[in-house]
Amino acid sequence: MLLDACAEKRDILEGRHANQHIPQFTGYLRLFDATGEEEYADAARNFWGMVAGPRTYSLGGTGQGEMFRARGAIAATLGDNNAETCATYNMLKLSRQLFFHRQDPVYMDYYERRLTNHILASRRDAPSTDSPEVTYFVGMGPGAQREYDNTGTCCGGTGMENHTKYQDSVYFCSADGNTLYVNLYLASTLRWPERGFVVEQTSTYPAGGVRTLTIREGSGSLDVRLRVPSWATGGFTVTVNGVRQRAEAVPGSYLTLSRNWRRGDRIRISTPYRLRIERALDDPTVQSVFYGPVLLVAGSQERQFRVLSFYKDFTLRGDLADSIRPEGRPMHFTTHGLTLAPFHVADDTRYHAYFKRSEPVVVFGTTGSGVPNRVRGDGLTFLDVLWEQAPFATSGRFARAVRALADGWLSEGLFTRTERDRVVAAAGRADLRH
């Protein structure tokens, strides 16, 4: 029944045991390989889409209490028993197998997020000789706390495997051997005897910085396909032997370098990290903070959502860095009196992976309008839509953007004429240049 439903793109996952069914679909792909029956491949691809988007928390895991919940139910299901770790283990295997059949970068974007923010975060940062010290559930609710151990459980067994498999999907090659896919930017060495290449990658991942690929051995014609992560909105710069490449880098795609490679050739990739937020599907005011691919969590003992607001601090560049400031340690930040730390720093302190966003009034810096920051049908507020257009080159362009958007809000009945005028006037008075 589940096979047929998924092949027909009918989502009947709610209430089903997540990790019981995920491995089935890796098996269905193998049945497709053996039989050529498209139903198996369609079911696996459709199942992956039913989990990877609408049933995934910000760390990349899925499920509550081992079960799939309703499609899109993220904020509604946050608690202490989200994201069973071995379900993510098996979703990574499924993503890897799907990529073998269709080289869609969405599978590797998914892989990177889960590897970085769930698997890497799933083992306590402490040595042990009598316990795997790995997680079972990883709570996403406010004030959740990771619990480690799991000797003799499914998550204990896969938890020990997880940390021997970081190299699994860094590189792939095409069936004809003419293309090399660089999927993950992890320090690693590729030995490819069929082509005679040895490629060394240096990287400080998950920290930001430059990644370097060096041809240590081998030569010949080869297409090198570099994954441009979907989060790489701050740029993706590539040089070969010091010469900048002009190929267009589109987030969520691959950039291809085609040439005759020689020993000593060096590819340098710079992808600056930027702060960004992601909204829960069922409640856009429930949000997480990321720094590039890295989920940031706030340390706090409170068991209720922390309420944060950022737009009042924005300058014309419209960057969260105006509100969330470096704390001093790499990838650590402060905001609203809270420290934000990478979730993969695996300890047992209480954390908040989601917060509640509150921007009740339309305010531009210190200039208020007194007008409610109303929500339109898709859950986005006036300020959400405005700042999605940032950066603004000048104050004049900012004011014109506010006027155009306020006119739209007026036509949709979200502002009165008086409110529209007050918002436009406030934008004209605001100085957001610093």
Helix (H, G, I), strand (E, B) or coil at 113: helix
For the chain, state the CA radius of gyration. Answer: 24
Who contacts 337 (Cβ-Cβ below 8 Å, separation ≥6)?
A: none
Q: What pLDDT digit, counting tens, does each position of 193-233 carry?
A: 999 999 999 999 999 999 999 999 999 999 999 999 999 99
Give the Cα-Cα-Cα angle 205, 211, 214 (nearest 5 degrees): 130
User: Quick one: pLDDT at residue 228?
Assistant: 98
List, for the chain, all residue ranges whose pLDDT scores fall below the cut of 70.
none
Closest CA to 133 of 150, 119, 116: 150
Question: How many whole angstroms from its chain centre is CA 59?
Answer: 8
Closest CA to 47 of 16, 77, 76: 16
End-to-end alpha-carbon separation of the chain, Å?
60
Is the CB of residue 75 less than 8 Å from the CB of residue 280?
yes
User: Quick one: pLDDT at residue 52?
Assistant: 96
- What are the structure tokens assigned to 117, written together? 């923010």
What span, in angstroms and rounded, lies between the C-alpha atoms of 134 and 130?
12
Q: List 362's β-bridge partners, or say none.
A: none
User: Quick one: pLDDT at residue 127?
Assistant: 86
What span, in angstroms and rounded, lies between the C-alpha atoms of 6 and 22?
12
What span, in angstroms and rounded, lies between the C-alpha atoms of 350 and 352?
7
User: Quick one: pLDDT at residue 380?
Assistant: 95
Q: Angle of helix 85-101 relative to helix 38-52, nearest 10 degrees?
A: 130
Is the CB of residue 309 less than 8 Å from the CB of residue 324?
no
pTM: 0.95
Closest CA to 149 of 160, 141, 140: 160
User: Quick one: pLDDT at residue 75?
Assistant: 98
User: Quick one: pLDDT at residue 38?
Assistant: 97
Identity of the amino acid at 298? A
User: Quick one: pLDDT at residue 347?
Assistant: 86
User: Quick one: pLDDT at residue 159?
Assistant: 83
3-state DSSP of 18-66: HHHHHHHHHHHHHHHHHHCCHHHHHHHHHHHHHHHCCCCCCCCCCCECC
What span, in angstroms and rounded, lies between the C-alpha atoms of 375 and 385?
10
Q: Beta-carbon neighbour count of residue 165 at 10 Å? A: 15
- What are the structure tokens assigned to 383, written together? 């300020």
Helix (H, G, I), strand (E, B) or coil at 98: helix
What span, in angstroms and rounded, lies between the C-alpha atoms of 308 and 354?
10
What span, in angstroms and rounded, lies between the C-alpha atoms of 147 and 299?
16
Helix (H, G, I), strand (E, B) or coil at 94: helix
Who contacts 132 (Cβ-Cβ below 8 Å, separation ≥6)?
A: 123, 149, 150, 151, 156, 159, 160
Q: Beta-carbon neighbour count of residue 240 at 10 Å? A: 16
User: Quick one: pLDDT at residue 230?
Assistant: 96
Length of the chain: 434
Where is 334: in which H helix or E strand?
strand 333-335
Cα dist from 259 to 90, 185, 221, 262, 305, whole Å: 37, 21, 6, 9, 52
